[in-house]
Amino acid sequence: MPGFELIGDEEKQAVIELFDKGGVFYRYGFNAKRQNIFRVADLEEKIKTRVGAKHALCVCNGTAALKLALMGAGVKAGDEVITQSFTFIATVEAILELGAKPVITEVDKSLNMDPLDLEKKITGKTRAIVPVHMAGVAAKMDEIMRIAKKHDLPVVEDSAQALGATYKGKALGTIGVAGIYSMDFGKIITTGEGGVVVTNDEKIYLKAREYSDHGHEQNPKVPRGEDTRAIWGFNYKATEFHGAIGLAQLKKIDFILEQQKHNKQRLKAGLGDIPGIEFREVPNPEGDAADTLIFFMDSRKTASAFAKKLAAKGVGTKNLPDAVDWHYAGTWTHIFSAYDEYKGKNLEDVWSQSTGLLRRAIALPIMVKTTDQETDEIIRVVKQTAKEM
């Protein structure tokens, strides 16, 4: 999902222009000096139009965006928030930051939240549900939304890896009460660090905006220095550098998605006849951001050996298995040992269904600039390696 592959003159010019037109790096105020150009605000407008949300708030990173979205959705200390076992650790950290308890569901063959397990994990303390659209593949949102509705719980989508991806025609991040995107260096578009909250709910938006800016209400009747406040907050503001670069990157998103889809389709078609492998289930084939191609092998041992052989031949994997420790709750004893129910347990046994899938999974990265010839070479190497197993 690498917008970083396309960083070029457009991003450079956008930053030069930021210097040339007043050099105001701060997102608010200094209207005359900045020639009334507000890049973060412009990026927010463009993102909300792109995804079809009423509100967008750009902040310093996706982890902060998730914390803000959860806070806006009403999560407080002592609540339980349900998310899935396969995610980047940031999802759970955002929940912990609010003093809430992360409750983890199994993933199914989509490698996203297993709706069957979700229903089992709901208790009287559950305050929100956070499905994660890992690698731009949608979680099973119809089922998840149905369960959430039944239990009257808000869904906050962790779409950090899914800007531009859709599910049944709707942008991921806009199906629940709020969603978030990340623009860190590995994401579909990048501003180095950067995050976005999107929502149709004005209350969520305002709470997130106020908390991200020390409680500033942006009261139009008074200057910023005399601004009113109802809550205390923190500082998660984005800078105009985020705005400038984000605007340049956003112009490239269709190209990024098209290229990735093309490259993923070619790779998948080329690997389809390898005996004994099973591809990850993709509930949104049309709207997949096509960030990785994931398939399962018959055992943990085979998958591990396979990945090692691929690496030796110059074919890398993405997160599975190389960085599974940062993406699988089953390895996060430093977090879950704080809770009595997990003490002394092997977490990989706690989420055994997830372990059974994730430990057998190989994720091949899909890059924007890979040529058809290069894809064909990867196919050749992967097939050859499969024969050697």
Ligand X SMILES: Cc1ncc(COP(=O)(O)O)c(C=O)c1O
Residue 292 near ligand X by CB under 6 A: no
Residue from the set 83, 87, 110, 249 that interacts with ligand X by CB under 6 A: 87
Least Å from the CB of residue 172 to ligand X? 12
Residue 83 near ligand X by CB under 6 A: no
| 321 upstream amide cis, omega within 30 of 0 | yes
Smallest CA-to-CA distance from 261 within 295, 284, 232 is with 284
**φ and ψ of 156, to 5 deg:** -115, 120
Least Å from the CB of residue 224 to ligand X? 27
Measured CA to CA in angstroms, residue 8 lies from 4, 11, 14, 111, 203 at distances of 9, 6, 10, 34, 38
Residue 86 near ligand X by CB under 6 A: no
CA end-to-end span of the chain, whole Å? 29
Neighbours of 379 (CB within 10 A): 20
Binding mask 250-269 for ligand X (x = CB under 6 A): --------------------
Q: How many residues does the chain have?
A: 389
Residue 105 near ligand X by CB under 6 A: no
Least Å from the CB of residue 269 to ligand X? 27
Residue 63 near ligand X by CB under 6 A: yes
Residue entry with tokens 């973060």: 40
Least Å from the CB of residue 47 to ligand X? 14
Crossing angle of helices 62-72 and 90-97, rounded to 10° = 50
Q: Which two tokens stand for residue 24?
A: 């105001």
72 and 205 in contact (C-beta within 8 Å)? yes
Neighbours of 190 (CB within 10 A): 23
Residue 370 near ligand X by CB under 6 A: no
Residue 195 near ligand X by CB under 6 A: yes
Stretch that binds ligand X, among 5-13, 60-68, 262-270, 309-317 (CB under 6 A): 60-68
Nearer to ligand X, 71 or 271 (CB): 71
The closest residue (CB) to ligand X is 62
2 and 184 in contact (C-beta within 8 Å)? no
Least Å from the CB of residue 113 to ligand X? 12
Distance of CA 312 to the CA centre of its chain: 29
Least Å from the CB of residue 273 to ligand X? 32
Task: Report the distance separating Cα 109 and Cα 288, nearest Å.
Answer: 15
Site for ligand X in 159-178 (CB under 6 A): 160-161
Stretch that binds ligand X, among 84-92, 96-104, 210-218, 297-305 (CB under 6 A): 84-92
Q: Which two tokens stand for residue 155?
A: 């869904």
Residue from the set 24, 55, 61, 103 that interacts with ligand X by CB under 6 A: 61
Task: Report the distance separating Cα 197 and Cα 207, nearest Å.
Answer: 11
Residue 182 near ligand X by CB under 6 A: yes
Residue 275 CB-density burial (10 A; 0-12 exposed, 13-18 middle, 19+ buried): exposed
Stretch that binds ligand X, among 13-21, 61-69, 257-265, 293-301 (CB under 6 A): 61-69
Residue 191 near ligand X by CB under 6 A: no
Stretch that binds ligand X, among 21-29, 154-162, 291-299, 381-389 (CB under 6 A): 154-162
Binding mask 7-46 for ligand X (x = CB under 6 A): ----------------------------------------
Spell out the residues 6+ positions from residue 16 whose beta carbon is closer than 8 angstroms to its own.
none
- Neighbouring-strand partners of residue 107: 113
Residues binding ligand X (CB under 6 A): 61-63, 66, 87-88, 90-91, 132, 158, 160-161, 182, 184, 195
